Amino acid sequence: MVDITRLRRFKILQSLSDDKLAELAPQFGEELRPRNEIIFREGEPGDFFYLIESGQVSARKQQAEGDEFLGYFLAGDFFGERALLTDEGRYATVDAVLQVALLTLSKDDFLALCEAHPPVRAAIEAVAAERDRRRMVTFPGRRLDEALIIATHRHIVWVAARALRWSLAVGVPWLVASAFLQAIVWVHPVALTVYLGGLVWYYLDWRNDWFVVSSKRVLHHEKTILFFDKEEEAALDKISNVTSEVWGVVGNFLNVGTVTIQTAAGGGRIVFDMAPRFRVIRDAIEAENQREITRLRQDQLVRARDGIRKELLREIGLLETSGGVASAPGPAVQVKERAGIARRVLGHFTFIAPTYVKRGEDIIWRKHIFLLYRDLAAPVAGVIALVMLTASLLTGDFGSARPPIPVVLAVAALGALGVAVWFWYEYRDWENDIYILTPTQLTDSERKPFWLQERVKVANLGQVQNVRYERKSILENILDFGTVVIETAGTDGGLTFDEIPHPRQAQAQISDALDRFKARQRQSESEQKRREFLDWFGEYHRLLTEGEVDI
């Protein structure tokens, strides 16, 4: 029985009230489709709308040069809406990559829902439009077997800055010199042609460069007309960590920054410089990296199972009937929302934020409190100096040179405001630097106040090679703080948790989290193999009971 709790998991239904969801719930059906089963084929009439509760499906569309891969749909996604809204045949073929649990809605009920609740239809159409937009984007080297996630150029401010520089170098001198070159008629059209040609060249050079994230890889295509054409890419499963950086208020205001992708193989890296919406790009790479690793692990398990099955069937002489053996159900892929751990946890402090916070398996560190006191020493000294100066001006014997009291108080007030801002800046600079450990990844986040700088580096626990800690001074040994160094598969130095309290304890906690991460991977693989064996044994038992095989 479908209830409103299950329906609430889907974003497209968030605009509906509980009463309306309770009214709609009986209209939904439930289906469980095994791995590799085709849910519907391209061109078939559309009868149902599908919501994915767990598992994974893929969509592909026939093209003259081969099937075009449209993407994977995971828990929380939907599909099958186009044929119902347009009354045409199915747009693509959809099949189950893993065992998938679906909620279904008949065509009549779906159309009634869209007609009665325009926000639901608008949400569905917005997602469908974004999928179409991705599919229509073309870039050099695009493959049919990859679905586009993000394809963009450098921020428009990049080409604008180059155009401004060209204008200052060519346009302004031409205008200044035009007063002295009036007699030479041919100079003006030539200069105008050179100037406009340069602007067009800069624009085309900007359009030729691509930053791409697909379901298979990360790609940077750099092409300069008439000079060179370079393309570098990295498979998603070879990425060790992703770092994003933004500098200054202007960068934050324009939402433009740098994304650096470090690869495990060969220690290479790919840089998306002057990237628009750089945080979205960073998160998309991390999410697709996790999905691709999950898919590859599942493929390896499936190949191992198929090899075992073939060997067993060959032993009993039934290799030719192996096509009738059912596929083992795969584990449902769970998409873990990358919620703001810092936002949830750091909201629970009074004046000074804690240097260590633990919530379940999530841990947040800040730099040792001594570093805060050290940074606040200067503004505190400023307060003392300001108080002493003000008292001296108000009580000292300066004769006729004594400044007016209102002027002294005004200067003192301005000084107090400046010192308060200084004090706040130092505190926030310390508070904003956080280091996060979750069950799946490590994050090093450093932010300056006033949006002056932001640097976030994320590494998957599966890429961690070694964890060590360092205390390099007498003071660090006395106060028990130091640096934890996390070495990853790449060669960029990994992550460093700088000057955190109790570094030895932090090293042990990260190592324990790494051990739990690997244990979960081994347990998942073991459970998968057990389910596969039971699946094969059940099929063998069926063949045995039906007399198709003898003991």
The residues, ordered by sequence, that sit 6+ positions from 12 with a Cβ below 8 Å of its Cβ are 78, 120, 123, 124, 127
Looking at the fold, whether 255 and 180 belong to one and the same domain comes out as yes
342 by DSSP, 3-state: which? Answer: helix
User: Domain boundary at 259, 285, 311, which?
Assistant: 285
Q: Given a cut of 60, is residue 55 above it in pLDDT?
A: yes
Q: What is the mean pLDDT of residues 547-551?
A: 60
Residues 279 and 192 in one domain: yes
pLDDT of residue 84: 93
Task: Place 343 in a pLDDT band, splitting at 50, 70 and 90.
Answer: very low
> What digits encode the pLDDT tens for the residues 493-535?
688 999 999 988 998 899 889 888 888 887 777 777 777 777 7
Of all residues in the chain, the percent with pLDDT exceeding 70 is 84
Which pLDDT value is given to residue 287? 83
Q: Comparing 2-16, 287-301, 373-387, which segment has the lowest mean pLDDT?
A: 287-301
Q: Residue 97 maps to which CATH number?
A: 2.60.120.10
350 is a domain residue: no
**Mean pLDDT score, 263-268:** 64
The answer on 278 and 197 residing in a single domain is: yes
List pLDDT tens digits, range 444-463.
Answer: 999 999 888 889 998 888 88
Residues 160 and 120 in one domain: no
| Domain's final residue, options 403, 419, 435 | 419
Judge whether residue 72 has pLDDT over 80: yes
Question: Mean pLDDT for the chain?
Answer: 82
**Residue 103 domain-assigned?**
yes
pLDDT given for residue 497 in this prediction: 93
The answer to whether the CB of 170 falls within 8 A of the CB of 194 is yes
Query: What is the structure's pLDDT at 398?
Result: 65
pLDDT at 389: 87
Per the domain annotation, does 537 fall within a domain? Answer: no
Those residues with Cβ within 8 angstroms of residue 311's Cβ, 6 or more apart along the chain or in another chain: none
Residues 105 and 162 in one domain: no
| Structural domain includes residue 447 | no
The yes-or-no verdict on residue 384 having pLDDT over 70 is yes
For 438, the 3-state DSSP assignment is coil
Q: What is the pLDDT of residue 257?
A: 93
* Band of pLDDT at residue 170, cut at 50, 70 and 90: confident
Q: How does residue 33 score in pLDDT terms, banded at 50, 70 and 90?
A: very high
Domain boundary among 419, 438, 456: 419
| Main-chain dihedrals φ then ψ at residue 121, nearest 5 degrees | -65, -40
Evaluate if residue 312 carries a pLDDT over 70: no
Q: How far apart are CA 520 and CA 523, in angstroms?
A: 5
Same domain for 66 and 160, yes or no, is: no
Residues 169 and 69 in one domain: no
d(CA 274, CA 157) in angstroms, rounded, equals 9
Q: Is 257 helix (H, G, I), strand (E, B) or coil?
A: strand
Q: Span 161-170, mean pLDDT?
A: 86
Same domain, 65 and 169: no
Q: What percent of the chain has pLDDT over 90?
A: 36
- What's the pLDDT score for residue 326? 37
* Half-sphere exposure in the Cβ direction for 414 (13 Å, CA): 5
Q: Are residues 374 and 277 in the same domain?
A: no
Q: How many domains in the chain?
A: 3
159 and 91 inside one domain: no
Q: How many CA atoms lie within 13 A of 408 on its CB side?
A: 16
Q: Is residue 494 part of a domain?
A: no
User: By the 8 A CB rule, do 406 and 309 touch?
Assistant: no
Is 85 within a domain?
yes
Dump pLDDT digits (tens) for 462-486.
888 778 888 888 888 889 899 998 8
Instruction: Return the pLDDT at 26.
Output: 93
- Does any domain span residue 332? no
Owning domain of residue 245: 149-285
227 assigned to some structural domain: yes
Indicate if 59 and 125 belong to the same structural domain: yes
Whether 227 and 265 map to the same domain: the answer is yes
| pLDDT tens per residue, range 393-437 | 888 766 666 778 888 888 889 999 999 999 999 999 999 999 999
Helix axis angle for 278-316 and 503-545, nearest 10°, is 40
pLDDT of residue 224: 77
Indicate if the pLDDT at residue 125 is higher than 80: yes
CATH code of the domain covering residue 215: 2.30.29.30
pLDDT score at 319: 54
pLDDT tier, 341 (very low <50, low <70, confident <90, very high otherwise): very low
Q: How far apart are CA 172 and CA 21, in angstroms?
A: 65
The two beta strands, 148-152 and 93-96, are unpaired
Q: Other C-beta atoms within 10 Å of 95: how many?
A: 17
d(CA 320, CA 282): 48
Asked whether the whole model's pTM tops 0.85, one would answer no
pLDDT band of residue 124 (cuts 50, 70, 90) is very high
| Mean pLDDT calculated for residue range 30-42 | 92
Measured distance CA(231)–CA(143) in Å, rounded: 14
Q: Are 4 and 73 in contact (CB under 8 A)?
A: no
The CA distance from 194 to 417, in Å, is: 54
Beta bridge partners of 52: 102
Lowest mean pLDDT: which of 14-18, 35-39, 190-194, 524-528? 524-528
